[in-house]
Structure 1
Amino acid sequence: MSGKALRDLNALPLSETESESLNKSVLIKPVVDNSNGDPEKVPARNSTLVASSVAKEAEVAPTVTDVGSTEVEYIESENLNDVDDKEKVLQTLLAALDSKDWILVCEALNNVRRLSIFHKESMHDILDQVVSLIVKSMKNPRSALCKTAIMSSEDIFKAYGDLIIDLFDPMLIQLLLKASQDKRFVCEAAERALVAMTNWVSPTLLLPKLQPYLKHKNPRIRAKTSMCFSRSVQKLGTEGIKAFGIDKLIQIAASQLSDQLPESREAARSLLFELHSVYEKSNPSASVEPEPAELSSWELFCQSKLSPLSAQAVLRVTSVAREGLVFGF
């Protein structure tokens, strides 16, 4: 073969298959799967976020996923350390949260978490912008970024409680959406954030925010909302429930009792048990067993506030609870 022919052969481009094989040999990095369903979580000893040197190369190789290009560790709140330089972090925080570099955004989100835990007063003036950018990251399709944002919201709830209520609506719907999806490790993080929300935001402020989502067209969102609503009502206490209105709450619980998903129905039953208990404490005669031909005060109350079918369903649930107490179940 002539020298010219050899040169022409060497100049030929690689086939698509060969090129893809070469890219993979460079970019794919084995990941140990001990993540309990989280494909992007791997062990890391001393850092919040460890990015491999091939992260940028992965951007030009669409066949390679985040699993092979970046390793992410999610640090629990109690294991986070304080920031090294609070003032420096604050100066660059908003720009970092709005960066196009998702790794930088994850680092900034973890700094939000640190500031919330160790210096919560330092973010008061920019809290509205911080919350807005956290919500933006929650909407990102990259799972690592989305989950880190959700974890940030949990720490925001713990740190600021009722102060967050005016900035609350965009974050609430995103958490309900993420808790309703099929990607388990994102769903579980969102559920933890919702629990933190019910623990740290006053029920009198939270319940009106939750109510519209009890009628959402997505049954999963209704179910997650029902669970939050039930937990929040229980934190009202007897006087708080009476002030909010047992009649209003029993109508909400009755509507959820026939909902599509079992989570909604279970939350409704839990709420009805609580309402029944509060009603009996507020009306001592309600706990006295009526004569066979008589209706109890609770039965009369349910029938006066609900449709016949709804009242029957509610009484069936609460009568089971009463029988369980009588027989020590």
Structure 2
Amino acid sequence: MSEKALRDLNTIPGTERKTECSLTKSHVDNGNNNAEEWQKKNCPSLVSPPSNGNQIVNPATETGNAEVEYIESENLNDLEDIDMSLKTLLAGLDSKDWVLVCEALNNVRRLSIFHKEAMLNMLSAVCKTAIMTSADIFSAYNDIIIDSLDPLIVQLLLKSSQDKRFVCEAAERALVAMTTWISPLSLLPKLQPYLKNKNPRIRAKASMCFCRSVPRLGAEGIKAYGIDKLIQTAAPQLSDRLPESREAARTLLLELQCMYEKYQDLAQATESEHSEMSSWENFCQSKLSPLSAQAVLRVTNIVREGLVS
């Protein structure tokens, strides 16, 4: 998860995010004398202002309004207790408390800088947990996250196409969550540049996400977005290097053909008997280059012929 994404999340009002350090609150409420000591060990960024001048809210005086500390890499200090940090790292990343999650992510950065060998054997687990956190963010915040989405998208597209299966599977689930919880009108423009990425694996994963998102527009949404724009986006993917891209394009074009022909039926039912929209073939030929139109019609006609026979 990028630091920018976390910074943008921090601008969400306190009523819409959980930033209270729950264990700290429990100590404070119960008057436990060990609260300050616990904070120093587990939430050091919430106890005193950092040396680089960032202002941090003290939870002892403003419980529930805690802020997250953002530290540049060159200003990060080494960990005092490496073994304890390693033991509690995954639990911190998996916490439902955003302050603890962010503190754990800062510890990941510290370990990467000062003790990369110590974290090497759990690196995949750290990556998987961070990716799972992304899926939870999409589910919780929906379109609120859209302005912070760019650095997340590229990392998820990369991780979903790597060789380590359990990290890849977590990234795939996060991408499904993204296309499920973020509105297609907001998401499609974010995905479109990755359809032309130099990395064929990124293109393939982006094509699959694009294909999943378009049907969620619905008939009216597709008309508003522009069915011609969607066809022009999908057509080049038919000749892409990877089969995942080509299959996603075929699926999307069939969906668009179905929608287009439904529009035609609706127009004929609501207008005069003599009104008629262009045929699918004519529409494609009018919106695409001759070679692209031929490729699209070959795909859609083959499927249609198969259904008829």
Please say whether Structure 1 and Structure 2 have the same fold, judged by a TM-score greater than 0.5. yes
Aligned-pair identity (%): 63
Q: Which has the larger radius of gyration?
A: 1
Residue in 2 that maps onto 1:104: 88
Match of 1:322 among 284, 304, 307: 304
Look up the SS of the partner of 1:318 in the other structure: helix
Q: Which runs of 5+ in 1 are unaligned?
A: 1-82, 116-122, 288-295
- How far, CA to CA, are the matches of 1:135 and 1:168 in structure 2? 21
Residue in 2 that maps onto 1:231: 212
- How far, CA to CA, are the matches of 1:164 and 1:194 in structure 2? 14
Taking a change above 3 Å as real, the CA distance of residues 285 and 149 of structure 1, as seen in their structure-2 partners, is closer
Match of 2:240 among 247, 250, 259: 259
Match of 1:150 among 120, 124, 131: 131
Tell me: higher relative CO, structure 1 or 2? Use CA pairs within 8 A at least 6 residues apart. Answer: 2
- How far, CA to CA, are the matches of 2:267 and 2:250 in structure 1? 19
Taking a change above 3 Å as real, the CA distance of residues 133 and 191 of structure 1, as seen in their structure-2 partners, is farther
Offset of residue 251 of structure 1: 0.8
Taking a change above 3 Å as real, the CA distance of residues 152 and 298 of structure 1, as seen in their structure-2 partners, is same
- How far, CA to CA, are the matches of 2:124 and 2:169 in structure 1? 13
The letter for the 2-side match of 1:227 is M
The letter for the 2-side match of 1:228 is C
Q: Retained in 1: the 8 A contact 2:132–2:170?
A: yes
Offset of residue 105 of structure 1: 3.4
Residue in 2 that maps onto 1:271: 252
Residue in 2 that maps onto 1:21: none
Offset of residue 303 of structure 1: 0.6
Residue in 1 that maps onto 2:181: 200
How do residues 265-304 of structure 1 correspond to structure 2 at under 5 angstroms?
265-284=246-265, 297-304=279-286
Offset of residue 324 of structure 1: 3.4
Residue in 1 that maps onto 2:15: none
Look up the SS of the partner of 1:181 in the other structure: coil
Any idea what the Cα deviations from partners look like across 1:92-118, whole Å, max 9, x if unmatched?
Answer: 3957x999645433222110xx35xxx
Q: Retained in 1: the 8 A contact 2:138–2:177?
A: yes
Q: What is the alpha-carbon root mean square deviation over aligned residues?
A: 3.7
Q: How many aligned residue pairs are there?
A: 226
- How far, CA to CA, are the matches of 2:201 and 2:193 in structure 1? 14
Offset of residue 200 of structure 1: 0.4
Offset of residue 136 of structure 1: 6.9
Offset of residue 172 of structure 1: 1.1
Are positions 1:311 and 2:293 aligned together? yes
